[in-house]
C-alpha cells in the first residue's frame, strides 16, 4: 500500500493554464505538506496543514492555493502557470508536526511550456 500518493506523476501544460495536483495519505497522520524541489534538487516548503488548518504559508505566490478537504488529503491548485513554476512538487505527511520525520510522496514533475 502506498503511504503518500500524488497524482499525476507528470504534468506538462502551457503557460497561463490552471492545474491541480492531488495528494492522499493513508498513514493517519495529522499534518501534511507541500514542498517544491527546483532544478538544483533543493527542497523548500510551501505549505503545511495540521488537521485541515493551514499552519505554514511560506512566501509563495498567491497563484498557488492549497486545499485540505480532510486530514488525509491535501491538494494544490495553481492558477496562471508560469515557466518558473516548472519543478517537482512533493507532498508529505507526518504524525506529529513538531517531532517526527515526514514521509514523502513520489513527486509530481510539472513542466510549463
Partner 1 sequence: EDQVTQSPEALRLQEGESSSLNCSYTVSGLRGLFWYRQDPGKGPEFLFTLYSAGEEKEKERLKATLTKKESFLHITAPKPEDSATYLCAVRGGTSYGKLTFGQGTILTVHP
63 contributes a contact to partner 1 by CB under 8 A: no
In this structure, what are the phi and psi dihedrals at residue 84, rounded to the nearest 5 degrees? Answer: -70, -10
Among 12, 15, 27, 100, binds partner 1 (CB under 8 A): 100
Residue with cell 507541500: 34
How does DSSP assign 1-64, residue by residue? --SEEEE-SEEEE-TT--EEEEEEE-S--SEEEEEEE-TT--EEEEEEEETTEEEEE-S--TTE
Q: How far is the CB of 99 from partner 1 (least distance, A)?
A: 6
Q: How far is the CB of 11 from partner 1 (least distance, A)?
A: 14
Q: How far is the CB of 34 from partner 1 (least distance, A)?
A: 11
106 contributes a contact to partner 1 by CB under 8 A: yes
Q: Which residues bind partner 1 (CB under 8 A)?
A: 4, 31, 33, 40-45, 48, 50, 55-56, 58, 90, 92, 94, 97-107
Amino acid at each position: 500500500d502506498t503511504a503518500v500518493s500524488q497524482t499525476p506523476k507528470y504534468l506538462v501544460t502551457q503557460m497561463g493554464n490552471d492545474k491541480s495536483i492531488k495528494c492522499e495519505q493513508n498513514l493517519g497522520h495529522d499534518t501534511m505538506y507541500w514542498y517544491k524541489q527546483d532544478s538544483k534538487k533543493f527542497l523548500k516548503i510551501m505549505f503545511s496543514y495540521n488537521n485541515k488548518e493551514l499552519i505554514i504559508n511560506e512566501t509563495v505566490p498567491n497563484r498557488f492555493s492549497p486545499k485540505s478537504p480532510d486530514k488525509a488529503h491535501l491538494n494544490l491548485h495553481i492558477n496562471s502557470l508560469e515557466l518558473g513554476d516548472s519543478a517537482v512538487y512533493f507532498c508529505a505527511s507526518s504524525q506529529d508536526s513538531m517531532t517526527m520525520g515526514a514521509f514523502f510522496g513520489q513527486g509530481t514533475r510539472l513542466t510549463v511550456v
